[in-house]
Amino acid sequence: MHIGIGLPTSTPGGDGSLLTDWARRADEGPFSSLGVIDRIVYRSHDPLTSLAAAAAVTRRIRLCTMIVIGPLRNTTLLAKQAASIDQLSGGRLTLGLSIGARREDYDAVGARWSRRGHHLSQQLAELRDIWETARSADDQPRDSHIGPAPAQPDGPELLVGGLSGASFLRAARYADGYVHGGGPPRAFAGAANRARAAWLDAGRPGEPVLWGQSYFALGDAAAGEAYMRDYYGFAGAFAEKIAAGLLTSPTAIREQIRGYEEGGCHELVLLPATSDPAELDRLADIVG
Amino acid sequence: MRVGIIGGGPAGLYLATLLARADPTHEVTVVERNSPDATFGWGVVFSEETLAELRDVDHETFVALDDLLVRWQALDIRYRGQTIRSRGHGFSAISRVQLLGTLQERARSLGVRLRFEHEAAGPETFADRDLVVGADGIASTVRTRLQDAFGTSFQPHASRYAWFGTDLLFDVFTFIFEETPHGLFTVHGYPFDGGTSTFIVEVSRDTWQRAGLDRMSEEESLQFCQTLFADHLGGHKLMSNRSVWTRFVTVRNRTWHHRNVVLVGDAAHTAHFSIGSGTKLAMEDAIALARALTESPHDLEAAFTHYELDRQIPVERFQDAAADSARYFEHVGRHVGFAPDQFAFNLLTRSGRITRLGLELRDPAIVNRVDRWHQAHATGRALTAEPLVAAAPRHAPLTLAGVTLPNRVVLSLAATDVAQEGAPGRPHETSLLAAVTAGAGLVVTEPLAVSAHGRVTSGSAGLYHEAHVEAWHTILARLRSEGDTLVAARSGHAGRRGATRPRRLGLDRPLPPKEAWPLLAPSPLPYTPRAQVPRDLFERDDDVVGDFAAAAAHAAAAGFDLLVVDMSDGYLLASVLSPLTNRRDDLWGGPLDVRLRYPLRVLDAVRAVWPRERPLAVRLNVDDRHPDGLAPEDGVAIARILREHGCHLVDVVAGHTVADGATAPDYRRQFLVGLSDRVRNEAGVATVTSGAITTFDEVDTIVAAGRADLVVLDPGRHYLPDRTRRRP
């Protein structure tokens, strides 16, 4: 299992220069990926723009959205942005997509909340088409394709998130794997089993790539918990439960890593719950 | 803290006790609508686990209850004139009146105020309290008043039940299955004090109506049941205490608290009585909530969060197990006819909480008896009376037609998309070889096309050319030396799901038009908005029936041991069977029997050329998971007719008929087993099941319980012949 770290795009104090510094330092560290999350109605940075900036200041690290809320975005523009980030990063993009959980984000951009699962399915199929058309553009008329072609031959790795049966089926039908939304190892393992079962049931060859995520705060745990309560305030009572799952000690992080590995996780991304750059070093000491 | 508890049942009284005990300055009041000694429901089951917890949290209550409990370690199953006893099931029960009396006394001694015969209007009864607890049971007014905030959902079960008492003292927990002209009656009975037992009668709605119970008074239905179970009662009486027929309702709440109001026990969640967990869960809720409130006395929100974190997962697990158990009793009629040992094993493993391995730890004797029965049954030998060593059920052979599979484990290979013009090559041999050397009883190939136009992708392997026969023959000859695993060819026509790109990057991605071939389907509906519109299957001169028959002959010549005809996954024959995709109203479309004509014509043509001694199977979609599609009862009807047309084995699967609009399954462990159980035991045909089954213990349990004859083991993380990873 690989270990990634999140970019602090939604924690208090995560300003522009901090993000690029953070990305640069993550690239030097023991981390294999740099993850971003998505939300519209919040004081957060746009995930794709942030990854484009990260692409410019990194050479090695994989760049991952976990997740971007697909139906909020026009598919053609999303395909073009993702392909561009893949080009800028030399083929390092993993694009995780899901339907998200907040109605207000849909209302804020004027996207339709109803049938959002259906729209995500269509979007996944269309993204592949657009990238493949761009790749085979040499024998196409110039005005029929939407470039650039992604740097990765098969396009950015595609992941689908969510916990409904429909999400697992969507991952099996359209994506390369599944990205879990966080929780104790037991919750991840359950979702991973379901993702694999859907994959086999659909007759997909091979097996899904499985990504997990967890929040951590090693320095100021109280600030981390405050952020979690604020960020997940939309979830009502559930916010407290999410905050209670924050990893605040090296032991808790090691246990989480071991648990996820046993659950079959291929890549666990640890998301910072504060914007303190020292968190990078603290985490590096544990996973390095 | 000032606490108001609405409802003086086990959860409310015990919570009051624990709070008063933790801090004598807490001011705790319990209101109860009934009088102190009124109770309904006779005795309740109490778990030993809960009792152990009680000992730690309040020793006085534990000691008082300990004296009143009736304990037993076994359960009896009375079925077809036999009583089968299974040991190692530690249970205890207590009279509800005595339980409540004890809890009331203890609470009162700690200064809790108890107000009886007081009807609470809702949470506002305690408007001035710091904390209000809804402990008012399944029909909770507190929950009802705040239903939206709690996110309450109700799921009524189909069966009817009545909760009687009797002066017959059962030895142990007893299930009685009584076959009557009206249908099957089931009793859940257990002793709960020195002279009385609980006697719950459960029936399906149909049986209930046929027996006329829907029109009887309370007294009449008591008399009816007393007469019906006269042999079991042996002169003893049934007793009524508001014992009217009802439906059990599973209550769930998204959250159990709102502001300063919190739910415990049945108000928060119910679980079907057949696993006897209602009182257990209620008392455990009280313990968890009291602990959380003690740890965070000044932060109710934090306390409620810890309470829910502690309780919601175990409660859901019990609710799921109880729902499985409830379903078992709703459909137990389909298992009547099983040999008593298998019937008992099926009952004991009904809820998924106990597998064969778990049962063996409790009761090795009954597992050995079931194993011996199963082995004797599978080999056709007589069951010897003496104990003997029997193989685990998965090792039992299975004879179909004139062929015997060495064991019950099936490995099913995923598509590789690497065939050249349909011809299998090295990758096919490698994955087959890995599966055969793994020791499965049966290995099923990836889907093989019956014609070039029947392929899913241009890399689909096939059975439509002489060259394919030779290639398969060579591969199969090589596999023979590796063991006695049998190999099945899965033959099919992709129908409207054909002409797609390789599946490595996703399913149903159409080939560019210049590389595609024409697709066939009963109606001109593309599989996805981007897919080709299929041509009319019945207007083309394509001889698809002939292709299936020729493929069967090729499979026979190549040396396959078993042939599967594919009527699943939205492929051609599945699309003819489903009303979602067959919209015709002519000779080939309309009611189910008309939609069946063409698939049967294919099956008959295959039957005519496939060797008699080799088994013929159908991979059948039995449920479209769509309101307008095939439902499981259609699947059962189809399976019955397939059996009459010479099909020996049905691989029971569901879904994928349409790409959009159907409900996805939850993909939890064994998600297709229930359908297999239904098809096997209602249509009377051997079945294969699959879907999130990853351990041999599950295979053993499913086979021994008669839910399927063969089980596809997911390669998962334990076994994977083709471990392809795109990760760097």
Q: Which two tokens stand for residue B278?
A: 């209602």
Could you give the CA distance from residue B351 to residue B320 in angstroms, rounded to a whole number? 8
Whether residue B305 and residue A244 make contact (CB cut-off 8 A), yes or no, is yes
Q: Work out the pLDDT band at B723, boundaries 50, 70, 90.
A: very low
In what helix (H) or strand (E) does residue B416 lie, and over which residues does it extend?
Answer: none
How close is the nearest chain B Cα to the Cα of A39, in Å? 24
A189 touches chain B (CB under 8 A): no
Question: A172 to chain B: nearest residue by CA?
Answer: B506
Does residue A67 have a cis peptide bond before it, meaning omega lies within 30 degrees of 0? yes
The Cα-based distances of A258 to A62, A183, A217 in angstroms read 22, 14, 18
Whether residue A205 and residue B724 make contact (CB cut-off 8 A), yes or no, is yes
Whether residue A165 and residue B664 make contact (CB cut-off 8 A), yes or no, is yes
Evaluate whether A129 touches A75 at the Cβ level (below 8 Å). no
Whether residue A240 and residue B301 make contact (CB cut-off 8 A), yes or no, is yes
Could you give the CA distance from residue A31 to residue A105 in angstroms, rounded to a whole number? 31
Residues 6+ apart with CB under 8 A from B75: B85, B86, B89, B91, B172, B173, B174, B175
Question: B417 to chain A: nearest residue by CA?
Answer: A205
- Window 221-240 of A, Cβ < 8 Å to B: 236-238, 240
Of A173, A203, A240, the CB nearest to B415: A203
Of A196, A204, A244, the CB nearest to B716: A196
User: β-strand B82-95 against B160-166: which pairing, if any?
Assistant: unpaired
Could you read off the pLDDT of B588-617 as tens digits, one per residue?
999 999 999 999 999 999 999 999 999 999
A129 touches chain B (CB under 8 A): yes
Could you read off the pLDDT of A140-173 as tens digits, one per residue?
666 678 999 999 999 999 999 999 999 999 999 9
Could you give the CA distance from residue B582 to residue A73 in angstroms, rounded to a whole number? 36
B381 touches chain A (CB under 8 A): no
Could you give the CA distance from residue A119 to residue A70 in angstroms, rounded to a whole number? 8
DSSP characters over B602-652: HHHHHHHHS-TTS-EEEEEE----STTS--HHHHHHHHHHHHHTT--EEEE
Whether residue B255 and residue A237 make contact (CB cut-off 8 A), yes or no, is yes
CA contacts within 13 A on the Cβ side of B74 = 15
| Predicted local confidence at residue A141, as pLDDT | 60
B714 touches chain A (CB under 8 A): yes
DSSP characters over A164-175: SHHHHHHHHHH-
In what helix (H) or strand (E) does residue B181 lie, and over which residues does it extend?
Answer: none
Whether residue B505 and residue A176 make contact (CB cut-off 8 A), yes or no, is yes
- Window 290-329 of B, Cβ < 8 Å to A: 301-302, 304-306, 308-309
Q: Work out the pLDDT band at B309, boundaries 50, 70, 90.
A: confident
B259 touches chain A (CB under 8 A): no
Could you read off the pLDDT of B468-497 as tens digits, one per residue?
999 999 999 999 988 899 999 999 999 999
Residues 6+ apart with CB under 8 A from A59: A27, A90
Longest dimension (CA), chain B: 90
Could you give the CA distance from residue A17 to residue A214 in angstroms, rounded to a whole number? 24
> Which residue is listed with tokens 């590796």?
B482
| Predicted local confidence at residue B726, as pLDDT | 38
Of B509, B529, B664, the CB nearest to A166: B664
Query: In the predicted model, what is the mean pLDDT of residues B558-583?
Result: 98
- Tell me whether residue B571 is one of the annotated catalytic residues: yes
Could you give the CA distance from residue B503 to residue B268 in angstroms, rounded to a whole number? 46
| Predicted local confidence at residue B366, as pLDDT | 94
Amino acid at B592: L
Q: Work out the pLDDT band at A29, boundaries 50, 70, 90.
A: confident
Does residue A148 have a cis peptide bond before it, meaning omega lies within 30 degrees of 0? yes
Could you give the CA distance from residue B455 to residue B499 in angstroms, rounded to a whole number? 7
Selecting among B79, B161, B464, B571, the annotated active-site residue is: B571
B666 touches chain A (CB under 8 A): yes
> Which residue is listed with tokens 């020793």?
B59
Could you give the CA distance from residue B6 to residue B121 in angstroms, rounded to a whole number? 10
Residues of A in contact with B668 (CB under 8 A): 194, 197
Q: How many CB pairs under 8 A join A and B?
A: 125
Residues of B in contact with A237 (CB under 8 A): 255, 257, 301, 304-305, 308
Whether residue B509 and residue A129 make contact (CB cut-off 8 A), yes or no, is yes
DSSP characters over B160-175: EEEEEEES---SSEEE
Could you give the CA distance from residue B200 to residue B221 in angstroms, rounded to a whole number? 13
Whether residue A205 and residue B414 make contact (CB cut-off 8 A), yes or no, is yes
pTM (two decimals): 0.93
Residues of B in contact with A198 (CB under 8 A): 664, 667
- Complex ipTM value: 0.95
B interface mutation test: which of A1, A115, A207, A211 has the most B CBs within 10 A?
A207
Whether residue A129 and residue B530 make contact (CB cut-off 8 A), yes or no, is yes
Could you read off the pLDDT of B60-87 as tens digits, one per residue?
999 999 999 999 999 999 999 999 999 9
Phi, psi of B370 (to 5 degrees): -65, -40
Whether residue B714 and residue A200 make contact (CB cut-off 8 A), yes or no, is yes
Whether residue B507 and residue A173 make contact (CB cut-off 8 A), yes or no, is yes
- Window 257-276 of A, Cβ < 8 Å to B: 264, 266-267
Could you read off the pLDDT of A171-212 as tens digits, one per residue?
999 999 999 999 999 999 999 999 999 999 999 998 999 999
pLDDT of A214 above 80: yes
Residues 6+ apart with CB under 8 A from B385: none
Q: Is B83 helix (H, G, I), strand (E, B) or coil?
A: strand
Closest CA to B543 of B488, B448, B642, B464: B464
| Predicted local confidence at residue B38, as pLDDT | 76
Whether residue A200 and residue B309 make contact (CB cut-off 8 A), yes or no, is no
Burial degree of B40 (CB within 10 A; 0-12, 13-18, 19+): exposed
| Predicted local confidence at residue B352, as pLDDT | 81
Query: In the predicted model, what is the mean pLDDT of residues A125-148?
Result: 82
Whether residue B668 and residue A194 make contact (CB cut-off 8 A), yes or no, is yes
Of A173, A240, A266, the CB nearest to B506: A173
How close is the nearest chain B Cα to the Cα of A21, in Å? 26
pLDDT of B10 above 80: yes
Evaluate whether B116 touches B36 at the Cβ level (below 8 Å). yes
| Predicted local confidence at residue A280, as pLDDT | 97
B interface mutation test: which of A33, A144, A200 has the most B CBs within 10 A?
A200
How close is the nearest chain B Cα to the Cα of A236, in Å? 10
| Predicted local confidence at residue B720, as pLDDT | 45
Whether residue A174 and residue B416 make contact (CB cut-off 8 A), yes or no, is no
Could you read off the pLDDT of B178-236 as tens digits, one per residue?
999 999 999 999 999 889 999 999 999 999 999 999 999 999 999 999 999 999 999 99
Closest CA to B306 of A237, A259, A233: A237
Question: A195 to chain B: nearest residue by CA?
Answer: B667
Whether residue A264 and residue B671 make contact (CB cut-off 8 A), yes or no, is no
- Window 504-533 of B, Cβ < 8 Å to A: 504-509, 528-530
Whole-number mean pLDDT of chain A?
A: 94
- Which residues on adjacent β-strands are paired with residue B649? B617, B686
Evaluate whether B637 touches B609 at the Cβ level (below 8 Å). no
Closest CA to B368 of B382, B352, B387: B387
Evaluate whether B120 touches B136 at the Cβ level (below 8 Å). yes
Q: Is B303 helix (H, G, I), strand (E, B) or coil?
A: helix
How close is the nearest chain A Cα to the Cα of B412, in Å? 10
How close is the nearest chain A Cα to the Cα of B165, in Å? 42
Whether residue B569 and residue A204 make contact (CB cut-off 8 A), yes or no, is no
- Which residues on adjacent β-strands are paired with residue B77? B84, B175
A154 touches chain B (CB under 8 A): yes
Q: Work out the pLDDT band at B258, boundaries 50, 70, 90.
A: very high
> Which residue is listed with tokens 């297999």?
B676
A interface mutation test: which of B505, B658, B693 has the most A CBs within 10 A?
B505
Q: Which two tokens stand for residue A88?
A: 């800028």
B723 touches chain A (CB under 8 A): yes
pLDDT of B127 above 80: yes
pLDDT of B727 above 80: no
| Predicted local confidence at residue B90, as pLDDT | 85
Q: Work out the pLDDT band at B39, boundaries 50, 70, 90.
A: low
Residues of A in contact with B663 (CB under 8 A): 165-166
Of B529, B667, B694, the CB nearest to A165: B667
E-strand ranges in A37-156 read 62-69, 93-98
Whether residue A193 and residue B669 make contact (CB cut-off 8 A), yes or no, is yes
Whole-number mean pLDDT of chain B?
A: 93
| Predicted local confidence at residue B36, as pLDDT | 86
Residues 6+ apart with CB under 8 A from B283: B10, B11, B14, B50, B53, B54
Q: Work out the pLDDT band at B302, boundaries 50, 70, 90.
A: confident
> Which residue is listed with tokens 């299998």?
B424
Query: In the predicted model, what is the mean pLDDT of residues A260-282?
Result: 96
Percent of chain A as helix, strand, coil, to the nearest 5: 50, 15, 35
Whether residue A197 and residue B414 make contact (CB cut-off 8 A), yes or no, is no
| Predicted local confidence at residue B728, as pLDDT | 34
A125 touches chain B (CB under 8 A): yes
The Cα-based distances of B224 to B175, B228, B688 in angstroms read 19, 6, 42
pLDDT of B365 above 60: yes
DSSP characters over A43-55: S---HHHHHHHHH
| Predicted local confidence at residue B725, as pLDDT | 36
pLDDT of B93 above 70: yes
